[in-house]
Amino acid sequence: MPVGTYIVATEELGKELAESLLPRRSAVSDTNFVLDYFRLSADHRLLFGAGDSYSGKTPANLVERIRRRMVAVFPQLADVGIDYAWGGFIDISMNRAPDIGRLGSNIYYMQGFSGHGLAFTGMAGLLVAEAIAGQAERFDIFARIKHAPFPGGTLLRTPALVLGMLYFQMRDMF
């Protein structure tokens, strides 16, 4: 299923303020079901992202929605400007695990990284390369993960996903 994920870049914060937010300059992802993620750029901007759209449409008030989430984490940025915003759609699987496998003996696929593509696609590519070279043990571990289709069929799966994610967003808040 497609999920919109979006990110903003603040105006330049200056070295002192930026380092007060993330002293070790770590890239961070929270543990909510609908996660936020953030890091500092080389020019001392905060890059703050959020998975925000489960309907297949980009929200009209995108920057303000992400700003509210950013200020909830970093209240000291309430008056900081947003210079850039961008995003796009990723794909998620029902169980939020990557869907990796083969079709026949020589067609491999990798999909459904569920927001962890940046971290996992390199590893998935290595697993496919190993499998092609005849060392498929690690690839086969992931290929054995069972994946179910989203409920509701073509007509109802997007509304069902929106309702389900609304439930998990509410759970994250309380």
- Cα end-to-end span (Å), the chain: 26
88-136 pLDDT tens trace: 888 878 777 889 999 998 899 998 887 777 778 889 999 999 999 999 9
Q: What is the mean pLDDT of the chain?
A: 87
User: What's the mean pLDDT in 36-64?
Assistant: 87
| Domains observed in the chain | 2-91 (3.30.9.10), 99-143 (no CATH)
pLDDT of residue 51: 65
Residues 13, 48: contact at Cβ < 8 Å? no
pLDDT of residue 15: 96
Contacts of 15 (CB under 8 A, 6+ apart): 44
Phi and psi angles of residue 110, each rounded to the nearest 5 degrees, phi first: -145, 125
Q: Report CA 60 to chain centroid distance, whole Å.
A: 19
State yes or no: pLDDT of 1 exceeds 90: no
Q: Is the pLDDT of residue 156 over 90?
A: no
CB 100 within 8 A of CB 124: yes
Angle 143-113-49 from CA coordinates, rounded to 5°: 165
- The pLDDT of 30-57, averaged and rounded, is 85
What pLDDT, on the 0 to 100 scale, is given for residue 114? 78
Tokens linked to 82: 């947003």
